[in-house]
Amino acid sequence: MPKLLIIAAAMLVSAPALAGDAAAGKEKSKVCAACHGENGVSQAPDFPKLAGQYDDYIVRALNDYKSGARKNPIMAAQVANLKREDIADLAAYYASQSALSTKH
């Protein structure tokens, strides 16, 4: 039980540090729009819609592309130079968007 409390406390302490800035993420997302669409609503079936995804999912996916745990040469190149803050900002931005957005 003490281990669980320590892990929970560590997660609470680190969570605010990982919170991204959606406004900064919007600016950083411009390069993503070529494939994923403006506001993260892709019109192409080959590219997933990012709008409305949970921020922790986006963080995990981008980190997995960065580490090579998730394989995609295009995404690996896109995330190679992203910092932790960039990833958090992008995740916050896409999570704040409506998955049903019609803006392109």
Tell me if 41 is assigned to some domain: yes
**Residue 13, pLDDT score:** 45
State which residues form the domain around 32.
Answer: 20-96
pTM above 0.85, yes or no: no
Tell me if 4 is assigned to some domain: no
Tell me if 15 is assigned to some domain: no
Tell me if 102 is assigned to some domain: no
**Residue 23, pLDDT score:** 97
**CATH for 82:** 1.10.760.10
Tens-place pLDDT, residues 49-72: 999 999 999 999 999 999 999 999
Tell me if 58 is assigned to some domain: yes
Token pair of 25, please?
């993420």
Tell me if 5 is assigned to some domain: no
**Residue 6, pLDDT score:** 60
Tell me if 103 is assigned to some domain: no
**Residue 2, pLDDT score:** 64
- What is the rounded distance in angstroms from the CA atom of residue 48 to the CA atom of residue 56? 16
Stretches in the chain below the pLDDT threshold 70: 1-18, 100-104
One-letter-per-residue 3-state SS of the chain: CHHHHHHHHHHHHHHHHHCCCHHHHHHHHHHCHHHHCHHHCCCCCCCCCCCCCCHHHHHHHHHHHHHCCCCCHHHHHHHCCCCHHHHHHHHHHHHHCCCCCCCC
- What is the rounded distance in angstroms from the CA atom of residue 104 to the CA atom of residue 89? 20
What's the domain count of the chain? 1
Tell me if 3 is assigned to some domain: no
